[in-house]
Structure 1
Amino acid sequence: MKKFLLLIFCLSLLTACASNPNTSSDGSNTDMNVERMFAQTFAAVEDMNSFHTEIDFSQDISFPVDGTSRQQNIQTNTAADVHTQPNRAMYLEQTFQIPEVQEESTTETYITPEGFFTYDPIQHTWLTTSEEQAMERSNIYEEQMFASAQIDDIRTVLSQEGWTVQKNDTDWVLSYNEPTEQAKKYIVNHLNPNFVLSGGHSAGVSYQQLDLQNFTLNINIDRDTLVPSTITTSFEMTSTAEGSATEQLSQAIKITYSNWNEAKQVQLPESVQESAQMVSLSVIP
């Protein structure tokens, strides 16, 4: 399930009514375009020192096995308190379920100046790793969990021309609703080239050769603070490798942000630090 967080990122969509990127949902002209909105939102997020985030992930995949089609559904829920300054720290609680493979499991992870610590629900023990490998894993989590990294990646990959800007009573709503080559690049950037099932078995889906049917990405940005409240993404795609059956995948993610500058303090319990077993990064889920 470690591939889940790379994905960064797809989900229940918010509707969009405007076609002009400088037109609001009530039809009036706005003083916000996409480039300016992203710049101001990125700056606002960078000024924040902490936040709480929740990520709801769902994926349905159909892939060939021995000449027949196999179905699989994956659901993952993550809740995290994230501190970006002055000291970077995270506490995550993840619940994941692959009905065809295993029952629901829950794990916890601490990323603090003391290192990287995660709970293995199968062995019922805490695991840690070397300082070098802990830094490597921490960098991956920061890329996936930091709101500033999400905003920067979105604005870099998806050009301004494909966006619409709307507003409601509380938020600006940025929407990208086209299965363009840029959307395809965004997916490829966030997912492993070959999706790997639990246990390390490849499902055979090549994201590099996908046919993207639908793609929707919406960002709700608070009109007062200019920080994001939700980022939602969803897509449907197929991939047909030479001589094999067509593989299908649909995915949805909703990221919710709250408690800006008021996230719970992250403190590694002494019992976790003292009992954690030192292992190689490769065996940590």
Structure 2
Amino acid sequence: MKKGFVLVMIAACLLMLLSPIQAAASSNLNVTMDGEKLDVAAKAKEGRTLVPVRGVFEKLGLHVNWDHQKKTAYISNDESKVSLTLGNKVAVVNGKNVHIDVPVTAEENRLYIPLRFVAEQFHFTVDWNASTKTVQLTSTSTESDIDVEEFLQSVIGADLTSYSTDMSLWQSMKLDGEELIMDMEMKMDMVLDPIGFYQYTAMILEELDGEKMESEAYFSKEGYYVSEMGQWIKYDDELVEDILNLSQMQMDPMYQYELLLAYAENVKVIEKDDTYMMSFSISGDGFHQLILELIGGIDLGLPEEELEMIGLLFENFDITTSTTFDKSTFYPLSQTMESNLAVTFEGDTMELEQKVEATYSNFNQIKEIKIPQEVIDSAIPFNEYIGEWELEDVEFDEVS
């Protein structure tokens, strides 16, 4: 039985929450409809793709009207009607108010509308290709609900041993009235047996005037190596062993299957012409229990009551994710994820919002993750790296 992809999706969501790595945004975005490129000036804002009021939606067979006095766009077909007002984060869909992340925006004397939100209201499939920075719209000509359990068994049994990922991630973190916005690009090569990966990331923080910070990481049975400020660091072998043991447990097909059904909500699978699309959400107590399940396999040196506290730190958690699979192989093709949560520690609350879009490729083409010898030779132990930082703090205090 080959390793499936169900737990990878869930664990990836959690890793995003704990990782400082984010993805670079770009204004050079493309839009395609059923594979045909559309001539449109798309823009990226807060992790969302915006398109001009006119030009795109008409090509989707929708009617578009703009009321200048009310500053409202009306988009409709024979079945549905959506209205969006300039600057308002509440849209009206068939008479009901719906919250949206990014409202209609005015830039350079043009009005821009959030593409994904509108397209999905009219039942178009929206995927993101990070490598080409393309929003891919697909008409839903044939779709039907299928049995979730049957689908999960097929995903678990898929012959997937390795793959590559291109991911874009936007994150907003609010604490004590301050907001930190980060964008990240990530490229990863992943081998599932034995677990190993190479990861490149480029992070941009708005507060640092758009300066790009790049890093790399290798993980295999040889160790866990991360580059920081141009210096390679080797993490303790005990941590590597714990992660390897945990991954072997989590890669068990039945474990994955039970984990998803135990903690996820609103699990749904839709069959289309050439793909399946699975979506689910996790929130509240389900997330707390999932956290404990995942970290329970790592020896953190903490008593059980403190592990419980780690889960309880997370408040108001809500995550939704959707993944598209190839219909013949059950390999993942693309994924989107949105999450909102609050983390409280010692009276301080941090609010975290994330939006992730990823594509997958190179299925079963990566045979091994090999850590370059120059990385191994130049790396310093993690404890030594921490010691250097502590020494700098002491010297700074003495000078002060």
Alignment TM-score, normalising by the size of structure 2: 0.49
Does 1:39 find its partner at 2:186? Answer: no
RMSD: 4.4
Does 1:256 find its partner at 2:327? Answer: no
Give the conservation status (yes or no) of the 8 Å contact 2:143–2:271: no
Give the conservation status (yes or no) of the 8 Å contact 2:144–2:272: no
Residue of structure 2 aligned with 1:266, choices 369, 382, 390: 369
Give the conservation status (yes or no) of the 8 Å contact 1:170–1:223: yes
- Tell me the distance in 2 between the aligned counterparts of 1:250 and 1:231: 17
**1:230 alignment partner, SS class:** strand
Q: For the structure 1 residues 149 and 280, does the alpha-carbon distance in structure 2 shift closer, same or farther, using more than 3 Å as the test?
A: farther
Deviation at 1:119, TM superposition (A): 1.6
- Give the corresponding residue for 1:74: 182
| Residue pairs, 1:1-285, within 5 angstroms | 7-9=14-16, 15=120, 17=123, 26=141, 29=144, 32-44=146-158, 47-64=159-176, 69-85=177-193, 87-100=194-207, 103-120=211-228, 122=229, 124-136=230-242, 153-159=259-265, 162-176=266-280, 181=284, 185=288, 208=313, 210-211=315-316, 215-237=319-341, 248-263=351-366, 265-280=368-383, 283=386
Q: For the structure 1 residues 76 and 190, does the alpha-carbon distance in structure 2 shift closer, same or farther, using more than 3 Å as the test?
A: farther
Cα displacement string for residues 237-272 of structure 1 (whole angstroms, at most 9, x for unaligned residues) = 56799998x864321122322111112643222222
- Tell me the distance in 2 between the aligned counterparts of 1:279 and 1:53: 27
- Tell me the distance in 2 between the aligned counterparts of 1:62 and 1:28: 40
Q: For the structure 1 residues 187 and 270, does the alpha-carbon distance in structure 2 shift closer, same or farther, using more than 3 Å as the test?
A: same
Give the conservation status (yes or no) of the 8 Å contact 1:9–1:233: no
- Tell me the distance in 2 between the aligned counterparts of 1:34 and 1:5: 21
With CA pairs under 8 Å and 6+ residues apart, which has the higher RCO, 1 or 2? 1
Segment drifting more, 47-56 vs 179-188? 179-188
Cα displacement string for residues 192-222 of structure 1 (whole angstroms, at most 9, x for unaligned residues) = 9xxxxxxxxxxxxx9746335x643111111
- Tell me the distance in 2 between the aligned counterparts of 1:151 and 1:230: 20
- Tell me the distance in 1 between the aligned counterparts of 2:254 and 2:221: 20
Q: For the structure 1 residues 182 and 154, does the alpha-carbon distance in structure 2 shift closer, same or farther, using more than 3 Å as the test?
A: farther
- Tell me the distance in 2 between the aligned counterparts of 1:36 and 1:186: 25
Give the conservation status (yes or no) of the 8 Å contact 1:8–1:190: no
Identity of aligned residues (%): 18
Give the conservation status (yes or no) of the 8 Å contact 1:116–1:137: no
Deviation at 1:150, TM superposition (A): 11
Amino acid at match of 2:197: M
Give the conservation status (yes or no) of the 8 Å contact 2:233–2:381: yes
- Give the corresponding residue for 2:62: none
Q: For the structure 1 residues 207 and 73, does the alpha-carbon distance in structure 2 shift closer, same or farther, using more than 3 Å as the test?
A: farther
Structure 2: 5+ residue runs without aligned partners? Answer: 1-10, 18-46, 49-115, 125-139, 296-310, 388-400
Alignment TM-score, normalising by the size of structure 1: 0.66
- Tell me the distance in 1 between the aligned counterparts of 2:379 and 2:143: 58
Structure 1: 5+ residue runs without aligned partners? Answer: 19-24, 193-205
Give the conservation status (yes or no) of the 8 Å contact 1:8–1:191: no
Give the conservation status (yes or no) of the 8 Å contact 1:62–1:248: yes
- Tell me the distance in 2 between the aligned counterparts of 1:220 and 1:267: 30
Give the conservation status (yes or no) of the 8 Å contact 1:116–1:138: no
Aligned residues: 245
- Give the corresponding residue for 2:83: none
- Tell me the distance in 2 between the aligned counterparts of 1:75 and 1:186: 29
- Tell me the distance in 1 between the aligned counterparts of 2:200 and 2:236: 22
Cα displacement string for residues 90-110 of structure 1 (whole angstroms, at most 9, x for unaligned residues) = 211122233326832111112
**1:280 alignment partner, SS class:** helix
**2:156 alignment partner, SS class:** helix
- Tell me the distance in 2 between the aligned counterparts of 1:207 and 1:76: 28
- Tell me the distance in 2 between the aligned counterparts of 1:136 and 1:218: 30
